[in-house]
């Protein structure tokens, strides 16, 4: 005759995913045992939890894992498990107690906080998607919708800067400046206070472009990596930026983070 299976009850005031994962991980260590996991999500009141204990009473082999954080329900679960002598795992209690001792103040005790996607999360996703969509002048329509427009010749870190700033919740569009390609009309319609130009020394651009060509298996003697051509591009881009009246940042010796901080400072204090 087959033994009755172990019934593992998971009670949570949120979706109970954490408790179930712990139950599965622990049960896997007893592969010879027959078990079943019963999850009871959004049980954040005594009235909701009480029927679960009524069901547990009828089972021969049972264990309880709970992740509740609200004090009243926690006390009720603790008292009932002691009364019924049910093996129990309090997932949230010990970690919250340890952090309370370390920080010197109590927890919020609000269910489901880990799964709440706040406004900043959605803004970040939106900004990243915007940066990808309007990278490298793909679509000039993004210029007017952007929080910031970055101008510069190829290899002045426009794309990595755009992505870095997107994580700061800023919607960035970047447009390459090439002498033979007309500057999109939208650039001149944009408020100069929302535009930043990037330049770099010709030697710096040359070395970056040369490495780029090598990685692509192309010959380094192309026009793209010609010093004279690069200087022409730099001069051209500088003229355009001055004509627009936007700030110009020399990124020759700057890390992405350093340039980003300068841009953020300018965005927050354009009058300086």
pLDDT per residue as tens digits for the range 41-96: 999 999 999 999 999 999 999 999 999 999 999 999 999 999 999 999 999 999 99
Q: Which residues contact 92 (CB under 8 A, 6 or more apart)?
A: 67, 68, 69
Span 6-115: which CATH code? 3.40.50.2300
54, 47 contact by CB (below 8 A): no
User: Among residues 118, 82, 121, 114, which one has the least CA distance to residue 16?
Assistant: 114
Per-residue confidence (pLDDT) for residue 106, from 0 to 100: 93
Confidence of residue 204 (pLDDT cuts 50, 70, 90): very high
3-class secondary-structure state, position 89: strand
- What is the number of alpha carbons within 13 Å of residue 25 lying toward its C-beta? 7
Residue 121 has what pLDDT?
81
Give the pLDDT of residue 1: 42
Residue 197 assigned to a binding site:
no
Q: How far is CA 148 from CA 21, 105, 144, 227, 240, in A?
A: 43, 41, 9, 30, 17
Does residue 154 have a known ligand-binding role?
Answer: yes
Domain ranges of the chain: 6-115, 119-268
Q: Is the pLDDT of residue 148 over 60?
A: yes
Nearest to 159 by CA among 142, 176, 183, 146: 176
Helix (H, G, I), strand (E, B) or coil at 148: strand
Tell whether 153 is in a known binding site. yes
DSSP 5: P
Q: How far is Cα 165 from Cα 186, in angstroms, rounded to an integer?
A: 21
What is the rounded average pLDDT of the residues 170-174?
Answer: 97
Out of 50-59, 106-115, 252-261, pick the least confident: 106-115
Task: Give me the mean pLDDT over the 182-202 stretch.
Answer: 97
* Residue 112 confidence (pLDDT): 77
36 φ/ψ angles, rounded to the nearest 5 degrees: -140, 135
Q: Pick the closest to residue 266 from 200, 199, 164, 197 (CA basis).
A: 197
What is the per-residue pLDDT for 66? 97
- In sequence order, which residues have a C-beta less than 8 Å from that of residue 166 and are 6 or more positions away? 124, 127, 128, 130, 131, 172
Say if residues 198 and 251 touch (Cβ distance below 8 Å): yes
Q: Give pLDDT, residue 2.
A: 55
Query: Is residue 156 a known part of a binding site?
Result: yes
Torsion of CA 225, 227, 230, 232, to 10 degrees: -140
Residue 233, class by beta-carbon neighbours within 10 Å (0-12 exposed, 13-18 middle, 19+ buried)?
buried
At residue 134, the pLDDT reads: 96
CA distances from 256 to 156, 203, 213, 268 (A): 10, 18, 22, 18
Residue pair 13/67 in contact (Cβ under 8 Å)? The answer is yes
User: What is the predicted pLDDT for the residue at 267?
Assistant: 87
Distance CA 7, CA 39 (A): 11
Average pLDDT, the chain: 92
Confidence at residue 219, expressed as pLDDT on a 0 to 100 scale:
72
Q: What dotted CATH number matches 119-268?
A: 3.40.50
Helix (H, G, I), strand (E, B) or coil at 64: strand
Does the annotation list 162 as a binding residue? no
Task: Please name the helix (run of DSSP H) or strand (run of DSSP E) that holds residue 267, with its range, or none.
Answer: helix 256-268
**Residues 205-256: pLDDT tens digits?**
999 998 888 888 777 667 888 999 999 999 999 999 999 999 999 999 999 9
Residue 152 marked in a binding site: yes
């Amino acid at each position: 005759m087959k033994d009755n299976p172990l019934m593992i009850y998971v009670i949570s005031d949120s979706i109970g995913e954490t408790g179930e994962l712990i139950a599965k991980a622990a049960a896997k260590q007893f592969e010879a045992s027959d078990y079943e996991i019963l999850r009871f999500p959004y049980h954040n009141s005594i009235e909701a939890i009480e029927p679960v204990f009524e069901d547990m009473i009828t089972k021969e082999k049972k264990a309880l894992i709970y992740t509740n954080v609200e004090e009243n329900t926690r006390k009720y679960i603790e008292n009932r498990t002691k009364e019924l002598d049910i093996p129990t795992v309090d997932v949230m209690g010990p970690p919250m107690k340890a952090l309370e001792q370390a920080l010197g103040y109590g927890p919020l005790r609000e269910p489901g906080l880990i799964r709440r996607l706040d406004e900043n999360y959605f803004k970040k996703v939106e900004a990243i998607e915007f940066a990808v969509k309007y990278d490298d002048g793909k679509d000039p329509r993004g210029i007017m919708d952007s929080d910031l427009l970055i101008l510069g010749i190829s290899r002045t870190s426009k794309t990595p800067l755009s992505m870095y700033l997107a994580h700061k919740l800023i919607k960035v569009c970047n447009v390459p400046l090439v002498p033979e390609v007309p500057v999109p009309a939208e650039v001149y319609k944009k408020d100069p206070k929302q535009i930043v130009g990037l330049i770099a020394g010709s030697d710096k651009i040359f070395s970056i472009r040369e490495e780029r060509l090598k990685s692509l298996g192309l010959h380094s003697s192309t026009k793209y990596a010609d010093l004279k051509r690069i200087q022409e591009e730099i001069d051209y881009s500088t003229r355009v930026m001055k004509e627009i009246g936007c700030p110009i940042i020399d990124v020759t010796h700057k890390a992405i983070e350093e340039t980003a901080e300068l841009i953020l400072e300018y965005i927050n204090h354009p009058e300086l």
